[in-house]
Every structure is written in C-alpha cells, then in structure tokens.
Amino acid sequence: MSPVAADWIMATRHSFICANAADFLPQIQRESVDLILTSPPYPMVAMWDDLFQKLDPAISLDTTDEALDAFAKMHAWLYGIWQSCWQCLKSGGHLVINIGDATRSINQNFQLYSNHSRILQDCLQIGFQNLPNIIWRKQTNAPNKFMGSGMLPPGAYVTLEHEYILILRKGPRRTFTDSASRTLRRESGYFWEERNSWFSDIWDFKGVRQDLTGKPGRDRSAAYPLELAYRLISMFSLKQDLVLDPFGGTCTTTRAAIAAERNSISIELDPQLQDSSRQSALQFRETGNAYIQSRLKRHANFVENRQQSGKKLKYFNELHDTPVMTRQECDLCLREIREIEPDQDAFSIQVEYTAAGQVRAD
C-alpha cells in the first residue's frame, strides 16, 4: 500500500518579486532554496543589448575589440548572479541554466560567442560541480536560417539550432535521512519510460516564440516551454521543495512548479511583465490539470503498447490504478490543481491540490 495519506491536501505558495535579481538574491535566506532553474539574458544577442547596457553603461559594441570586452562585461554581471545563487542554494541543490551561444557580426567580423562555456567556467570557479548537460535541439524551418555565403564555399556558417541546459550541483548528492523526506521522494518519482526520455542528453522539441507583442512590458523574453521546465523540476527536486527563478520573465518556471507541486519564487525586473505573468499563473488551473492528465495518458499508452507486444509490467501503482515497470514507481502520486488564489499579500499566490488517489487517466 502507498504511504501517502489519501485525505491529506497538499498546498504550495508562489511568490512574485519585482526587482533586479542582483539586488534581491542576497536578501534570500542562505541555503534555503532546493533548485534554481532559469534562463538568463543571453550575452551578445541583440535583443538583450539595451538591458545589459542599462545594467553596465560601460558596455559598448561599436568595434570588434569592444565587442569582446562587452562579452566579458556581460558575463561579469552574470557572475554576480551565480555567486548569489550559490549562497541561497542548499547543499546538494541544483542550479540548472538554459543558455544559448550567440553568433554576431560587428564591423563585418562574424564570430561565435560561447555563452555556455563561459558560464560553466564561472560556475566551476564559484564551486559548483558540473554534471552531465543536456543539448536542447530547437529546430527551425525558417528559409533564412542559413548564414554566410549561401551555396558558395568557404564563407558559409553552420547554423545554431540548439541550446544548452547546464546542470550544476552545490556540494555532494542530497541525502534523505528521515521518513517524511523519503516518503516525499517516492511520491515525487517518474515513470520508467519518462526516466529513459528525460535523462537523455539530447532533447528534441520546439521552443517558444520569444515575442511578447501585445502584452505589457518588454517585447521579448528568454522563455522556454512548459515541458522543459516541468521535466527539470521533476528531475532535480521533490514535491514541497522551493524552486527559484532569478529571471522570471513569463513565469514558465512558476507554472511548471505549480503543476509539479513545488513552491517557487520568481524574480523579474519588468513590473508590467511580472504583473501579467502573475495573472497568467492565477488562471493556470485548467492548463495545468490538462498537462498532468497528459502525463498519465502517455503512461497509459506506454502500458497498452507494451502489453499488446506480449510484455508484462511486474508492479502496480494503486493510486493511479495502473501497472508500472519498477517498484520505485509504486508510490508515484500526481495530484490535480484544486484551486489557485491570491495569497494574503499582493505578491504571492496559494495553490491547493486534490487528495492523493483522485487522478486517473481519462
């Protein structure tokens, strides 16, 4: 039998902070965060030039030499963010960064600016351990995606259709010494077929269009899809853990944390974008529940296909009334969102979930 109490209603809290991450991160209690998941502004990508120049007016991009200096200054600012992340992250916690490299021509001099390797270098200097990373392939069918001299050698350039998901850990692997944390760990598990897909080093799904036209606030964000955030939160944290995003943007991390039954903090500099994202999170119930249902439906399809091929599943998850591949999946528990409401303060929302054992694949 599952150790999860069927009548226990789980709740999570999600805070929305409008601030410069460099100013607010030092105010977060030291070693209080379990997972940091973020996508920062990308150095040397034109859409972020104005932001970086506001953060550091010394940044200039007029000449090739100045461009290399600008690249260094942009990462110097981000270095302070990664230092603050180290301070507020618990031992055994993870820092997960979605970042893309940049290609750019300045004074007709085209080159690659390797953001991912610079961030890795900086985080290793701070003390993080580098774990196996993920390459996220973001295919595009745009007719103008090819760069350089067209069909004639040697002046054409390889197109960048991938980004990196850097996975870093503070200190040794997290341990679970009490029964409550071990129970939450079992409940936070993933299906066998999800394990095989999620922990592959290449992810292959489309990104999110970074155009916020028609919405208040800035024109673009470094948004990633809900699927990406939900996977990473499920992989590197437990239910009830605290997830932090220093560059909240459209609050995809927050919405994924809601669906995954984690608490969260989102920091965003733009007040209009932060407010619209909070309103979006308040309306996430239907979308979140559909996503949770889709996870169970995918598992049901896996079970059906396996059984039709004559292969057995040895174990059974009673909460979801479904066969599973391993004993570790027997206590896996998914809850739907019951309600999302504003909290007592104006900067947070409260989420309550259905009792355990109430969710089945339709």
Q: Which two tokens stand for residue 297?
A: 């439906």
Please state, in angstroms and rounded to a whole number, the distance separating the CA atoms of residues 187 and 271.
36
E strand or H helix at 16: strand 11-18
- Given a cut of 50, is residue 4 above it in pLDDT? no
Query: Are the C-beta atoms of 85 and 127 separated by less than 8 Å?
Result: no
Go through the domains of the chain in sequence order and give each one's CATH number: 11-141+158-353 (3.40.50.150)
268-299: pLDDT as tens digits: 999 999 999 999 999 999 999 999 999 999 99
Q: Residue 195: pLDDT above 70?
A: yes
Kindly give, in sequence order, each residue whose CB lies less than 8 Å from that of residue 226, ignoring residues fewer than 6 positions away. 252, 255, 256, 259, 291
Structure confidence at residue 207 (pLDDT): 64
The predicted-structure confidence for 287-331, as pLDDT tens digits, reads as follows 999 999 999 999 999 999 999 999 999 999 999 999 999 999 999
Task: Tell me if residue 261 falls in helix, strand or coil.
Answer: coil
Which residue matches tokens 């984690």?
A: 262
Closest CA to 97 of 72, 139, 126: 126
Name the residue among 295, 287, 301, 294 with its Cα closest to residue 251: 287
| 61 has a pLDDT exceeding 90 | no
Give the pLDDT of residue 3.
44
Q: What is the pLDDT of residues 239-262, one digit of tens each?
A: 999 999 999 999 999 999 999 999
H or E segment to which residue 135 belongs: strand 129-137
97: pLDDT strictly greater than 80? yes
Which token pair is 1? Answer: 């039998």
Residue 264 pLDDT grade (very low, low, confident, very high; cuts 50, 70, 90) = very high
Task: Count CA atoms closer than 13 A to 311's CA, side-chain side.
Answer: 9
358 has pLDDT over 60: yes
- Please tell me the predicted confidence (pLDDT) of residue 214: 45
Cα–Cα distances in Å, from 242 out to 30, 153, 210, 258, 298?
13, 51, 27, 11, 27
Report which DSSP code applies to 186. Answer: H
Residue 247's closest CA among 57, 82, 59? Answer: 82
Question: Is pLDDT larger for residue 178 or for residue 207?
Answer: 178
Which residues sit opposite 13 in a β-bridge? 350
pLDDT in tens, 198-211: 999 999 987 665 44
Residues 196 and 125 sit within 8 Å (Cβ to Cβ): no
pLDDT at 7 over 60: no
Contact (Cβ atoms closer than 8 angstroms) between residue 321 and residue 344: no
User: What percentage of the chain carries pLDDT values higher than 70?
Assistant: 90
Q: Facing residues of 316 across strands?
A: 323
Residue 48 has pLDDT above 80, yes or no: yes
In this prediction, residue 143 has a pLDDT band, given cuts at 50, 70 and 90, of low
Q: Is the pLDDT of residue 224 over 50?
A: yes
Q: What would the mean pLDDT of 205-222 be, rounded to a whole number?
A: 52
DSSP states of 101-126? -EEEEETTEEEEE-HHHHHHHHHHHH
